[in-house]
Structure 1
């Protein structure tokens, strides 16, 4: 009889070479450190990225993600450590001799050139024959759906169209790896969301390895096969989006990705296989594999959509139940978020799906409510 295991989130594609010991990484970042004077931008970082992977470097400003991307591109040299592509060191190899290309946040298009000349620029620099350049440019224009705009100049295009020109120019040389530095940052929200799916489809069609730098967590969650969340030049966690979201390795990861409520408390022991944690004026019973001793400080991290909010008290208000008052309400159309203030002073978020257009007795400010959750709804963290 086959044994089924729980999956953390829905799976976009069956692609996980990082879990196969027989698979060799395409890119190996091995103990890389980069210093600028007394400042350490990247600190002894090791990372493996695989062929055909859509990989995201995520983190706040100043965490080292762009510096790492620039070292991959060859615009910066590691202070120590090695970067290998297909087993060969890239250290000391100039950018134009590396089999990868970079798309900059500003797009860096030549304003005096047409779309087709912008795309052809790198090919001409490489000495490709004119007939081959013409064919390659036509192929790229078709790929990014800009054939009718070939004769226009960048200033005659929308922001989304300029982004596509920059992408086509980056892909024209058919690099093994495409590096994207905040590629969607200049686009408005709706266009950015549409372009995320276009980039994903394009990466799949071309079979290339994409490495994207972004500070936008939603962007990384949508596009990437795996995310490396960075903090102060180091990696806090590397995992697929669903694992990062549902099973963060520490408080920093839990708090950075999405919304989360963190209930700080102390381990009391176990009952019926569940870890018992005294926190926020209640007893939290949670699934936890770690063998934590009574008295150990710990936190229970829970996402808003895992919390049920009602006016009615639960059958057992002493276990996985919190009483409070609605402090703030945010209506997003598809969902409504409630910030509930507990007697302890903690603020816990709860999100409800607006499945109906109207509610008979809608919750509002200052309502007294109960928050409840299942033992497997959150995760216990000790760091």
Structure 2
């Protein structure tokens, strides 16, 4: 396991907001040793977690890791097999969904097709017995908030997917819950609309000052929107951190490999000096800055992000970590070009180059001999 570096969050940075680093702050939501079993299958395994007031929190992970089960337990649709769920210090175990100050927005939106937009938004308020005049005011407020006032009389099938998503959001917010739970809310949208909606959700959450908990398997979605991310694996938490920390200082191979693209080199520790480890890796010696004090002979993985790799035809002068190879594949992605390089020892390494100019005179091409290099502070040492 790596020691987390002190990385300033580059994620949702519109505000100074780090209550998890304040010992005086208590989480709004406390998940305390929660386990959920379905027969012999353990979906959530002795999981503990704190989510703070006004936080935009993401549960991220592959299918079957337990993130949706955890969200459903917070909503009250499932009960824990053991452990406790608390909101503002009060246990939620045994409290039915309609009596919890939380609301949930589903991936399918679950809109009533026979009702207009305004009636969909008003449905929960009517169920709670709110006065008609108050309902009308609240619905108008919600539709204005999600920019759907001109569409109040339309039916859901007369709206685009993005507009339907905003109707579902308005309905979820109409009851003014303390916590809004979002289960893959953008999954049905196309890529461009999904990106636009991510920023709309961030702005809305910030404006309302609510706590949002979102479940997603899309790492980019979590990185864009969340104050913190909990990456899950087989019912447990692999790492909880800000987007910048979880990307730049992963605590395990699983985290490093799940978040973004990464190169991981297997190496053996040779010595430590002046805050650096010297390791024997494929193609030669590797030096990495790290707080870990590993003993000679210890096995470790060195994780380097492709954008931190340098690629060129000549060996860079003075480079500590340099590897010779041959271009195995090339992917032009518009903003960057991805090079897959096969080292002389057989490993495949990735390097990305920003396409800052519209064209270059002598671009690197397939089967060309190249050198890869990275700075000692660009690698992260992983022992798990």
TM-score normalized with structure 1 length: 0.97
CA contact (8 A) 2:10 2:243 kept: no
**Offset at 1:316?**
4.7
Moved more, 306-315 or 238-247: 306-315
3-state SS, counterpart of residue 265 of structure 2:
strand
1:210 correspondence with 2:184: no
| Distance change >3 Å, CA 8–CA 322, structure 1 → 2 | farther
**Offset at 1:9?**
4.8
Counterpart of 1:10 in structure 2 is 10
CA contact (8 A) 1:34 1:42 kept: yes
3-state SS, counterpart of residue 199 of structure 2:
helix
CA contact (8 A) 1:32 1:45 kept: yes
Counterpart of 1:252 in structure 2 is 254
Counterpart of 1:30 in structure 2 is 32
Moved more, 121-130 or 341-350: 341-350
Q: Give the alignment partner of residue 46 of structure 2, picking from 37, 44, 47.
A: 44
Counterpart of 1:88 in structure 2 is 90
CA contact (8 A) 1:261 1:304 kept: yes
Equivalenced residues, count: 378
| Distance change >3 Å, CA 232–CA 7, structure 1 → 2 | closer
**Offset at 1:241?**
0.4
**Offset at 1:270?**
1.9
**Offset at 1:213?**
0.1
| Distance change >3 Å, CA 8–CA 360, structure 1 → 2 | farther
**Offset at 1:273?**
3.2
Matches within 5 A, 1:1-383: 7-10=7-10, 12=13, 13-316=15-318, 319-383=320-384
**Aligned structure 1 segments of 4 or more residues deviating by more than 6 angstroms:** none
Using the alignment, how far apart are the partners of 2:224 and 2:64 within structure 1? Answer: 23
CA contact (8 A) 1:8 1:246 kept: no
CA contact (8 A) 2:7 2:248 kept: no
CA contact (8 A) 2:33 2:82 kept: yes
Deviation string for 1:26-63 (max 9, x for gaps)?
A: 00000000000000000000000000000000000000
Deviation string for 1:84-104 (max 9, x for gaps)?
A: 000000000000000000000
CA contact (8 A) 2:283 2:324 kept: no
| Distance change >3 Å, CA 6–CA 39, structure 1 → 2 | closer
Q: Which has the higher contact order (CA 8 A, sep 6+)?
A: 2
Using the alignment, how far apart are the partners of 1:140 and 1:156 within structure 2? Answer: 19
Using the alignment, how far apart are the partners of 2:30 and 2:352 within structure 1? Answer: 40
3-state SS, counterpart of residue 252 of structure 1:
helix
**Offset at 1:271?**
3.7
Using the alignment, how far apart are the partners of 1:35 and 1:125 within structure 2? Answer: 33
TM-score normalized with structure 2 length: 0.97
3-state SS, counterpart of residue 175 of structure 1:
coil
Unpaired segments ≥5 residues, structure 1 = none
